[in-house]
Amino acid sequence: MENLLFESSSSSSSSDDEDNFLATILPEVLEHHQKNELYAESIIPSYTDKEFMEHFKVPRSVLFNLAEEFAQSEYYPKKDTGFSRIDAEKCMWVFCWYATHEAASFRDVADRFNIALSTLHLIIENISVFISNKSKEIIKWPSEEEKNFIMEDFASMGFPDVLGCVDGSHVRIDKPTEDHESYYNRKKYYSIQFQAVCDSKRRIRDVFIGFPGSVHDSRVFQNSPLYVNLPALCKDKYILGDSAYPCLRNLLTPYKNNGHLSPVETNFNKKLSHCRVLIEHTFGLLKQKFRQLYHLKLRSIPTICHFIRACCVLHNLSLEEFDEEVADGEDIDDVERFPDNQEIDEEAEGNVVGLNFRNYIASMLHI
């Protein structure tokens, strides 16, 4: 009987506590929900430019200009469906919030902007393609004038006649429904690769996206337009890569460290590594900003490729507004690069002209 009375008394007390708790918390929950309903309409416009940058990682002016173009594009719905259309600028905010917040689920983003899940998916898909298609005008090889400034920067780092650095990175994805084995990489997760060339200011000058995670960097490179076009793009100049790439006249890579490197070869490797860290910084900036690239939850492979390219476009547009640095204490790149066991057989893959030219440059650097 005591137990029954005790349980009854406890239940009553618990109920009173619960009522008090709800009376305290419920107004805050409702207030939070109302804030989300008005987030795009009232909260975002009140942000200073600095606050906007902290939340969206892309300058307000960049998204405003893109929104104006998007509103006039074929990707912005024009048909009257009986529902009010979402403002083009709000669409940009939705996309950018999703892209820059790794922990945000689709439901979180939809709730924050007070839109349906189906609408969110449509916005992400349409804007991914819209911004991706701007890559031809935003991600492009440097002009002759720009090349001079880039070479000056690299020369100050100890390497002459360098136009950029190349490397590949992996974007983790969920298990694809088709051909999933080819996307399973050596780090034991599913991924899509993208290859990029950056300049001395960490601006992306070339990007190639879409190969499954299991493919070697060298094979990705040799199947990219860059491999074919590199002689015409570089002429008598060159770019720098790591040991996963073939050593060519227009692409110099480190000497394979067999434990018997000469002082000339050791010096060459050290200076190349010092320059090539710029591409690692570029990937670091890109993924610190667009954190969905750490694990992208989209399902369609074409949409994933457009999304990655769109992030690269936004990266370049942001650099035009701000000269950004990698944040102190941040990892440059998390497990996407696979340096181990990717070295290639130089005699089989490297061309003799490239190997001889590397020896020539190495001897010049040692002087």
DSSP string, 242-284: -TTS--BTTEE-PPP--S---HHHHHHHHHHHHHHHHHHHHHH
How far is it, in rounded angstroms, from Cα 55 to Cα 252? 40
pLDDT at 77: 82
Q: Which two structure tokens, joined as six digits, stand for 268?
A: 């060459």
Residues 6+ apart with CB under 8 A from 238: 161, 162, 163, 249, 250, 251, 252, 357
Is residue 358 exposed (0-12), middle (13-18) or buried (19+ Cβ within 10 Å)? buried
pLDDT given at position 78: 73
Whole-angstrom Cα distance, residue 87 to residue 70? 10
**Beta partners for 208?**
195
- What is the pLDDT, as a whole number, of residue 338? 53
| pTM listed for this prediction | 0.85
In this prediction, residue 148 carries a pLDDT of 97
Q: Which two tokens stand for residue 184?
A: 């399973």
Which amino acid, residue 113? F
Q: What is the pLDDT of residues 304-315, one digit of tens each?
A: 999 999 999 999
In the prediction, which pLDDT does 351 show? 84
Dump pLDDT digits (tens) for 165-195. Answer: 999 999 999 999 999 999 999 999 999 999 9
CA atoms within 13 A on the CB side of 366: 14
pLDDT of residue 26: 46
For 192, the token pair is: 């899509």
Residues 220 and 243: their CA atoms lie apart, in Å, by 14
Stretches where the chain sits below pLDDT 50 are 1-13, 21-22, 26-35, 326-336, 339-341, 347-348
Residue 174 is given by DSSP the state P
